[in-house]
Chain A
Amino acid sequence: MRALNQLFSGLTLSQRKILMLCAIALVALAGAMFGFTSRPQAGGTAASAARSPLSIFASRSPGARADGALFRTKRRLAAAPRSRPRPAVVIPRERVLSPVRIRPGGPLQIAPGAPNVAPQGLSLDAVPLPTSVPGPAFRSPYIPDVGSGYLPFPPGGPVIGAPPVEGGNPVPPPPAVPEPATWMLLILGLGFVGAALRRQTRLPAGA
Chain B
Amino acid sequence: MLRRIAVLGLPLLAGLALALVLLTSPSGEPQAPRIKRAEPSGTRINYPVGQYPVLRLPDGERRVVHSLLNTAAPHAYGEYVWDDSGVPPGQVWIRVDLALQTISVFRAGHEIGSALILYGAKSKPTPPGVYPVLAKAEQHRSSLYDAEMPYMLRLTGDGIAIHASDVRPSAATHGCIGVPLQFARLLFAQVEPGDRVAIIAARQPPSSI
Contact = CB atoms under 8 A, between A and B. Distances in A.
Interface of A: 3, 7, 10-11, 15, 18-19, 22-23, 25-26, 29-30, 32-33, 36, 39-40, 43-45, 47-66, 68-75, 77, 80
Contacts of A80: 146
B208 A54 contact: yes
B102 A61 contact: yes
A62 to B, nearest CB: 5
Nearest to A37: B28
State the 4 A-B residue pairs at the shortest beta-carbon distance, nearest first.
Answer: A61-B100, A74-B147, A44-B36, A69-B172
Contacts of A43: 32
A60 B121 contact: no
Nearest to A15: B7
A45 B33 CA distance: 10
Nearest to B116: A62
A54 B102 CA distance: 11
A59 B21 CA distance: 26
21 contacts: A26-B10, A29-B21, A39-B32, A40-B35, A40-B36, A50-B48, A51-B33, A51-B45, A52-B209, A53-B53, A53-B209, A55-B30, A57-B102, A61-B99, A61-B101, A66-B169, A73-B147, A73-B165, A73-B166, A74-B142, A75-B146
B6 A36 contact: no
A22 B146 contact: no
Nearest to A69: B172
Interface in B27-72: 28-30, 32-40, 45, 47-48, 51, 53, 55, 65, 68, 71-72
Contacts of B178: 73
Nearest to A10: B3
A66 B173 contact: no
A29 B7 contact: no
Q: Is the interface of A mostly helix, strand, loop or mixed?
A: helix
A59 B73 CA distance: 6
B2 A7 contact: yes
Interface residues of B, number: 70
B75 A62 contact: yes
A25 B18 CA distance: 9
B14 A58 contact: no
Contacts of B104: 57
A62 B38 contact: no
B202 interface: yes
A45 B45 CA distance: 14
A44 B118 CA distance: 33
B171 A60 contact: no
B99 A64 contact: yes
Contact of A25 (B14, B145, B170): B14
A57 B170 contact: no
A58 B147 contact: no
A54 B45 CA distance: 13
Contacts of B118: 73
A61 B209 contact: no
A60 B77 CA distance: 11
A112 to B, nearest CB: 73
B10 A73 contact: no
A61 B73 CA distance: 8
A30 B173 CA distance: 51
Contacts of A70: 121, 170-172
Given A51-B72, A73-B174, 8 more contacts: A7-B2, A33-B21, A43-B32, A48-B37, A59-B73, A62-B75, A72-B171, A74-B147
